[in-house]
Chains A and B, each alone.
Chain A
Amino acid sequence: MSENSPTCAEVIETIQDHLPALYFAFGRGRTEMLAEELGRSFDFLTGRERQRAKKMIKEAEENCPGLFTLRRQNLRRLLLQGIGYHHAGLPPVLKDLVERLYEQRLIYVLFCTETFAVGVNFPAASTVFDSCRKWDGREFRSLMNREFFQMAGRAGRRGYDRVGRVYIRIDERYPEQTGFYNELDVEPVRGRLMISPNTVLSLLYWKTDEEIKRFLEQNLAVYQNNREIWQLRREIRELEEKEKRLAACFCPEKDTPSCQLYRLLLRRELNHLKRRKHRHRPGARERREELRRLLQTARKHCDHRICAEAEKKLANVTERKNQLLARIHHLQRNSRDFEEEFQNVWRLLEDLGYVRGRELLPRGKFALELHVQEILVTELVFSGILLEASAEEAAAILAGVDYQPGRDEWVEKCPFSLEHVVRLRKLLLKSGVPEHFCVWSHLPAALAAAWYRGASFDELMQKCSLEEGDIFSMLRREIDLLRQIERAARDDVYLADFMRGIRQLLDREEVALVGV
């Protein structure tokens, strides 16, 4: 693949006095490709450093045999040249190794995605932006100021660098996508409250009417909305005062034929009606005569510029006022009615038999302990699907809960049918459960089933196009869900044991957490 200029080698060449650099790219494949490309012409490590890096890599490999799978052999080679890549697709142990090498200053250029900039502080001498656009799950969009500065701000090591250098690449082929950012334009934080089934159940079960009311009427989104409307109203009141003051400037003869300003308007209209184009329009002649008659009135001799100026100002004030009124209108029309959203979910829960009034029924009490796809999971249990399934099938079904497949992901077909889960989902959708309350995908089923049966991680890798990190987090999420169901089961010992059994088998080897 030919690279657009400036190529990353050219960029690094330019900034070579300001390393280490974090090179942000949007797309995992892109970080790997760029690292590979740089590795073709650059080698940053001295003999001593290479020995140190080699030693750290060896140690990691001893602790975790098979650390560098075939696919990651390139990373091993690059790390010995002082180049690395880091993204969510890497297995955690490998991410950890890259991070430690970086901390030991054995990586001079690290190609990474946005995740590297959240939380733990890994400062660099400079940060580079391969592009300023990212895929946010739905579309490619430009980075917000907040996102940009979260990443850019990694440049500048305290006590080491006088300034933190940030470089943005101007892509030869897409110059218009070049980002320009200002820290003064960082976006404000807005309230984003969403009413989930668990929120409603928790409020009904644990909180008083008073507390629920306060929650719905005083949350951040409502507060910010009200505050803005209040501020707009205040400004409008001030503008109205100003309007009154300006109106007081006019003389009593304003808008009468003796006023010079008014005469100006009349004359303009007269000239207009004299033109050939308008001359013969119906009523034009009569209007002309009327205008001439009006203009015969004696003209008042005054400094009409005062009135003219006031009029201009007044027009501006009125325009501003109308803008503000439109904004208030917009805010009021688009403000979310949390009371209604709450009522809607409550009604849905009542229809589905989770609650009766404020009282939680068995389903409701079960869902109270769940924090992901509450309704779907509860129904999987109460419909008997989960309990009738073998442990392997249950592992496969639960892996798909809340799973949103990425672009072009494929996984080997599941050895058994999951048709009943699809049917349940359709039924729920038909009975009015919104799509986002029953997110489920058949995709990871085969992987979870195989892992449950004791397959090796390499075998999983061969069954799909997912990367190690994706499989890892999919199974960790399932372990989280299994714990939730176990808790929700309470005295249903059979269900609890069933879930625990699956969990203990899933939580092993590569999928187990290391270092905590």
Chain B
Amino acid sequence: MKKGNRRRALSREPQPAPIKLDPFQEKAIAALLAGHSVLVAAPTGTGKTLIAEKLLEKILAEGKGAVYTSPLKALSNQKYRDFCRLFGREKVGLITGDLSINEAAPLLVMTTEIFRNWCFANPEMLDNTSHVIFDEMHYLDDLERGTTWEESIIFAPGHIKILGLSATVPNVREIAVWMGEIRGSSIEVIEEKKRAVPLKISWISPSGDVLDEDQARTEVEERREVRRTRRLRAGGSRYNRYNEDFIPYS
């Protein structure tokens, strides 16, 4: 084994940037504080969570309740730990299918399934809840679980305001109009298309070179060509080409 092959990042231990709200975060928070339901669509890592935290801070200070739903149990557990650290253990509860802690707390972290069930069976338990936060709301599109999000949106008690956090989707406005129509109160859309850190996509060729898109497309074409001729040579007979991905008239 070849050991001690020490290769490392050039810039190490960089310092985190100070927390300053982006314009879209400011806008979302302002709309929420003004009492609107809000749908935020922004790329991952742009700080959607911060919006939720600011809202929760205010709700808890006013002595009201809130529900935070997430699509995965592991995520709910993690959020529960985060919120305990932020707001104090006594203020936060956790309810998933196989676990419940501090159910009477003002801030409840749950799976979306539990929230949906409450909307049907115990809406009175949500009387003091002013907001529900749907994390990863694009799960609406999930083949198996989308129904849960939809039933939650449709049947969440009317007095509850919604904060939806979603990855970038092209039709957020359409979703918001639908939510507004079915719930009978309008939803503001806050969209951030720009990433906090822009992405640069490159391709790595079989020989280890970094390529841009055009180069990559050429490379892919050439490789396919090479494989095709290799196969032809190996096959010998000219009829073989019709068995492979050879398209004679293209």
Residues of A within 8 A of B (CB): 4-6, 10-20, 40-44, 92, 105, 108, 117-121, 123, 125, 146, 149-150, 152-172, 175-176, 178, 180-181, 183, 186-194, 196, 199, 202, 205-207, 214-215, 218-220, 223-224, 227, 368, 371, 476-477, 479-480, 483-484, 507, 513, 515-516
Contact = CB atoms under 8 A, between A and B. Distances in A.
B147 A153 contact: no
Contacts of A16: 7-9
Interface string B191-202: 000011111111
B24 interface: no
B17 interface: yes
Contacts of B151: 199
Contacts of B68: none
Given A153-B43, A162-B197, A108 B220 contact: no
Nearest to A221: B150
| Nearest 3 A/B pairs, CB to CB | A159-B17, A156-B197, A192-B146
Interface residues of B, number: 91
A481 B2 CA distance: 51
Given A192-B146, A480-B97, A160 B14 contact: yes
B142 interface: yes
Contact of B43 (A20, A149, A205, A480): A149
Contact of A153 (B6, B44, B170): B44
B216 A192 contact: no
A170 B204 contact: yes
Contacts of A5: 206-208
A176 B220 contact: yes
Interface stretch (B53-61, B173-181, B235-243): B173-181
A2 to B, nearest CB: 14
16 contacts: A16-B8, A42-B7, A43-B5, A108-B9, A153-B199, A155-B197, A165-B199, A166-B199, A170-B205, A170-B219, A175-B220, A175-B223, A202-B121, A215-B154, A220-B178, A516-B101
B98 A146 contact: no
Contacts of B150: 191-193, 219-220
Interface of A is mostly: loop
Contacts of B44: 117, 121, 149-150, 153-154
Interface of B: 1-11, 13-17, 43-45, 49, 70-75, 77-78, 80-81, 94, 96-99, 101, 113, 117, 120-121, 135-136, 138, 140-144, 146-147, 150-151, 154-155, 166-171, 174-175, 178, 181-182, 195-211, 213, 216-217, 219-220, 223-224, 227, 245
Given A159-B17, A176-B224, A192-B146, A43 B4 contact: yes
A408 to B, nearest CB: 23
A6 B77 contact: no
A164 B14 CA distance: 15
A123 B43 CA distance: 13
Nearest to A484: B97
Contact of A189 (B1, B71, B169, B217): B169
Contact of B199 (A11, A146, A156, A220): A156
Nearest to A506: B98
A11 B94 CA distance: 42
A163 B200 contact: yes
Contact of B208 (A6, A18, A19, A153): A6
Given A150-B44, A214-B154, A507-B98, 10 more contacts: A12-B7, A13-B208, A14-B209, A118-B71, A119-B78, A158-B196, A171-B206, A215-B154, A220-B175, A513-B98
Contact of A170 (B9, B141, B200, B216): B216
Contacts, number: 257
A11 B204 contact: yes
B5 A41 contact: yes
B208 A10 contact: yes
B198 A164 contact: yes
B216 to A, nearest CB: 7
A514 B13 CA distance: 30
Given A219-B150, A516-B77, A516-B80, A146 B208 contact: no
Contact of B147 (A150, A169, A192, A479): A192
B217 to A, nearest CB: 7
A480 B77 CA distance: 15
Nearest to B99: A513
B45 A166 contact: no
A117 B198 CA distance: 17
B201 A152 contact: yes
B3 A43 contact: yes
A167 B181 contact: no
Nearest to A158: B196
A6 B207 contact: yes
Contact of B174 (A41, A146, A227): A227
A74 B102 CA distance: 40
B56 to A, nearest CB: 17
A40 B198 contact: no
B166 to A, nearest CB: 8
Contacts of B96: 480
A397 to B, nearest CB: 18
Given A11-B204, A118-B71, A43 B197 contact: no
Contacts of A188: 169-171, 174
A13 B5 CA distance: 11
A168 B120 contact: no
A412 B237 CA distance: 51
A191 B207 contact: no
A189 B200 contact: no
B201 A202 contact: no
A371 B115 CA distance: 13
Contacts of A218: 181-182
Contacts of A202: 120-121
